[in-house]
Structure 1
Amino acid sequence: MSRLTHVTSGPYAPPPAARELTVVSADGARLHAEVHGPEGAPAVVLAHGWTCSTAFWAAQIRALATDHRVIAYDQRGHGRSPAVAQLPYTVDMLADDLEAVLAATLAPGEKAVLAGHSMGGMTIMAAAARPGVREHAAAVLLCSTGASRLVAESTVVPIPPSGLRTRLTKAILGSKAPLGPVTPVGKKVLKYATMGPGSSPDKVEVCARIVHACPRGVRAGWSHVLSTLQVDAGVEALTVPTAVLVGTHDRMTPAVHARRIAAALPRSEGLTELAGLGHMTPVEAPEAVTARIRELGERYLKPEQSEKPEKNVQSQQSQQNVQSEEGAQAA
């Protein structure tokens, strides 16, 4: 049994950040944020899902930070972002927090690819019409997520759709029961509910450690928000190029959600359905998720954004050279 919050070695171990900061949201909530990769490189912002943390994006951060500035943050109450006394949680808090992170980590007018998994995707949809998102979003990836009817359409409870299934699903997801340490039984349950049947033991271990580390009060508090979530209007407000990705064995947010979102997007970049995978696609299929983010960046992030710092350095060096030459002539 283990209470470690994430694995400590291998491709899913969180890499050290180049910079860490505390972002203050609209209501004073403090959010842990990390910046990885070279300053001045094209920016990517990652928003994780319910019961997860920045550690969930370890594979994407490790791959993208070679040539991108990758910004990841812990949703309030998750990871190193403390839970706040203001309850109940609301979808507006998610939008406020994303806006605050964008303002704190990006220059005015700077564009980034925004990628959200599960509740992170819901965060982006909830904030789609916000000025901060309109200012900073160049393109979006919505990964394993939904905009409404989350409990009614979940297939975690293996019975036909009915009022009973909806009630059971809501009770299970909203439970305040402690998950406790990671055990073999706990991993089997987590794998069934959130991952594809072919998920390898190491990937199940990664997800189990992260999910079990989420405080039970936070887990239950946000489950109530998700059970009544209605951000379909946010889908229509996503006017930037937006791609959608889902696993065909996703029980938490089945593919019906992804198909509905992709059909309603003003500027759809297509729907990717990953055969046999579950809800935890960034861990189950890290290369596919990373590639989709990278494709959006190559298409919609202007190269000159990453060249500005270099140009400034070259300009300063040129000025210094001129001054040196003038000084030599005067001498």
Structure 2
Amino acid sequence: MSPVPPADCVLPAPVEELRIRSADGTLLNVQVYGRPDAPTVLLAHGWTCSIAFWAPVLHRLASDHRVVAYDQRGHGGSEIPREAAAYSTRALADDLEAVLLATVPAGERALLAGHSMGGMTIMAAGDRPEVAARTAAALLVSTGAADLVAELRVAPDAVRHPGLRRFLHQRILRSRLPLGPVNGVSRALLKYATMGPGSPADRVEATARIVHACPTRVRAHWADVLGVLDVRAGLAVLAAPTAVIVGTDDRLTPPVLANRIVAALPDPQGLLLLPGVGHMAPVERPAEVAAEIRRLATAYLTPATGPEADPGSGPKAAAERSTVA
């Protein structure tokens, strides 16, 4: 019998649902949660996921934030482009810009949080003036800017030859095979590749249902993009104060990639290292991810109420923060 996903992995009811057209005409599914008058947090999910992936974090933010979440093109309720050319880092940046322009009025700003390909989306849009004008701060979770295939740790440790490891990782990443139904074998494989060894069965089940719902051809098109991804140019000009999160057991975007991001950021706001956590940090450890979003929102979105404001919650304190284990 399959485990039942935890209650916090079920999305709350949105307060608003939108269909937003991107630069090339692709329609994006956008949902808004929480308080309309509160500071805005925008969430961008990763490869093979959907808005539902953010449910555990959404539940922890919606009481005092306006949370905008959207399905990346091809995922969830967003339109599936037919042409391979419609899958690119430029398209990711176009989609983020379209969602920001439609949900954050001129003169206002949001905190951007991206997981995996969502983090790559934020980096890809690092040189977009309209995105920068609407970004107060950013959080990059379990992601990388380049060299993804070279740093993958999915192949068994017994495979030591670098060339063979790279070949196996390319085949795994770009597999065109359908994932099929969620069962005991698929859950075990997904847990090994994407989650920490201590992840509870119900959270593995919730993640598997989301990943298996991604259409095979969409997964394959985005795998081609990720296989050659390089968004370091955008990262180098990502001016907003930006923090990074990674799990110690992340096989897809391991800590070495997070360290490179922090070293390249114009305004780094710390690296949060989560022990025993794999690639799916927002599902594995939603409390810590939500707390980091809240920390950045307090520092850069919510103005201090007066001289009695906690000095430990402002930008200076955030800049002094480093790795937390």
User: Structure 1 length as normaliser, TM-score?
Assistant: 0.88
Within the candidate set 152, 155, 166, 2:153 is matched to 155
Map of 2:95 onto structure 1: 97
The alpha-carbon deviation at position 303 of structure 1 amounts to 3.9
Map of 1:322 onto structure 2: none
Aligned 1:230-309 pairs, distance under 5 A: 230-303=230-303
Code of the aligned partner of 1:281: A
Code of the aligned partner of 1:126: A
Equivalents in 2 of 1:229, 1:195: separation in Å? 22
Equivalents in 2 of 1:168, 1:115: separation in Å? 31
| 1:90-133 residue CA offsets vs partner (Å, 9 max, x unmatched) | 11000000000001111112111100000000000000110221
Within the candidate set 45, 61, 65, 2:62 is matched to 65
SS in 2 for 1:245: strand
Within the candidate set 136, 143, 149, 1:145 is matched to 143
Aligned 1:1-331 pairs, distance under 5 A: 10-88=7-85, 89-158=87-156, 159-160=159-160, 162-303=162-303
Equivalents in 1 of 2:247, 2:241: separation in Å? 21
- The question of whether the paired residues in 2 share the 8 Å contact of 1:247 and 1:281 is answered with yes
Equivalents in 1 of 2:73, 2:278: separation in Å? 25
Map of 2:307 onto structure 1: none
- The question of whether the paired residues in 1 share the 8 Å contact of 2:48 and 2:211 is answered with yes
The alpha-carbon deviation at position 8 of structure 1 amounts to 7.1
Equivalents in 1 of 2:5, 2:244: separation in Å? 30
The alpha-carbon deviation at position 161 of structure 1 amounts to 5.7
Equivalents in 2 of 1:109, 1:119: separation in Å? 27
User: Structure 2 length as normaliser, TM-score?
Assistant: 0.90
SS in 2 for 1:81: coil
- The question of whether the paired residues in 1 share the 8 Å contact of 2:5 and 2:202 is answered with no
SS in 1 for 2:37: coil
Q: Which runs of 5+ in 1 are unaligned?
A: 305-331
| 1:289-313 residue CA offsets vs partner (Å, 9 max, x unmatched) | 0000000000001449xxxxxxxxx
Code of the aligned partner of 2:270: G
SS in 2 for 1:175: coil
Q: Tell which structure's C-alpha radius of gyration is larger.
A: 1
Which portions of structure 1, spanning 4 or more consecutive aligned residues, are displaced by more than 6 angstroms? none
Out of 69-78 and 164-173, give the one that drifted further.
164-173
| 1:145-179 residue CA offsets vs partner (Å, 9 max, x unmatched) | 00000011101112336121111111111111111
Q: 1:111 to 1:187 in 2, by over 3 A?
A: same
What count of residue pairs does the alignment treat as equivalent? 301
| 1:277-327 residue CA offsets vs partner (Å, 9 max, x unmatched) | 1000000000000000000000001449xxxxxxxxxxxxxxxxxxxxxxx
Q: Which runs of 5+ in 2 are unaligned?
A: 305-325
SS in 1 for 2:18: strand
The CA RMSD measured in Å over matched residues stands at 1.5
Equivalents in 1 of 2:237, 2:74: separation in Å? 27
